[in-house]
A and B are shown apart, each in its own frame.
Chain A
């Protein structure tokens, strides 16, 4: 337990990097791209 606590920053960092690659493999960046290239009507205040 102490070992896990001591190395928590590294565990969190490498989990985040792993999660990032999983997300890319799942094609999530495509979904973000398709969302971000269209004007968000809620942001403008008309939808």
Chain B
């Protein structure tokens, strides 16, 4: 018989990390698009 886990998977933390990664993509991407929209200088 498997020993009972002392703690549960931190599901809320996983959700927050996913949001964090999406934020990284969105904000970095928005900076990148701003750069492109300004065109070559």
A and B, one complex? Answer: no
